[in-house]
A = this chain, B = another copy of it.
Amino acid sequence: MTTLDPGYDTRGRILEAARQLFAERGYAATSLADIASAVGVTKTAVAYHFHPKDRLAAELLAPAASDIVTLIESGFDDERSFLEVLVTFAVRHRTVIRLIMEDIGGADDAPPGSPGEALRAFRDCIYARLAGPDPDPAGRVRAWAVLGSLQYAVVKTIDLPEETVRETLLAAALAAAGFTS
């Protein structure tokens, strides 16, 4: 965009439209044509800027990825503070949480280095941290319950202010994980 664009930041508008549509319907259920018509350009224009489609997801996910690394590296002592960090992360990046939970890459095939594979590994890492090493059945159930509550609560209340969601959700997640406050 060095030319006729004062205000017509097509690339950025595509990114924002994709963020919203992905959050509403999910990655697989959102086509390039959907995004294109939301922005007011052609499908080919979207493909021009983001090629292939999963680059859209990758670019949307990038801030969240760097953020979670910072958060994790900052360190936390116990399980409780880990959950706090996790809830904060989920709420802050709620517009892309659905991309993390959804399996972006197909079911089985895993082209090494693809964004889908990295996502799956990341989510499994979070789960492992929640469930602990060699988890018993109850631990598995609790870990998935926490993950599920995070995803749904965060995605379905995008219209609410961040801090409100964060406070309530933190209490709910802590309780579900078995912490008695």
Contact = CB atoms under 8 A, between A and B. Distances in A.
A168 to B, nearest CB: 4
A64 interface: no
A141 B172 CA distance: 9
A91 to B, nearest CB: 10
Interface stretch (A6-14, A114-122, A144-152): A144-152
A146 B149 contact: yes
A164 interface: yes
A176 B87 CA distance: 14
A164 B138 contact: yes
A161 B141 CA distance: 11
A153 B160 contact: no
B152 A148 contact: yes
How many copies altogether? 2
Contacts of A164: 137-138, 141
A144 B150 CA distance: 9
**Interface range, A side:** 35 or more
A144 B138 contact: no
Contact of A138 (B145, B156, B168, B175): B168
Interface in A124-181: 137-138, 140-142, 144-153, 155-157, 160-161, 164-165, 167-169, 171-173, 175-178
Contact of A153 (B24, B144, B155, B175): B144
Interface of A: 24-25, 28-29, 107, 137-138, 140-142, 144-153, 155-157, 160-161, 164-165, 167-169, 171-173, 175-178
18 contacts: A25-B107, A28-B28, A137-B157, A137-B160, A137-B161, A137-B164, A138-B167, A138-B168, A141-B153, A141-B160, A141-B169, A141-B172, A142-B168, A145-B153, A147-B152, A148-B148, A148-B152, A172-B175
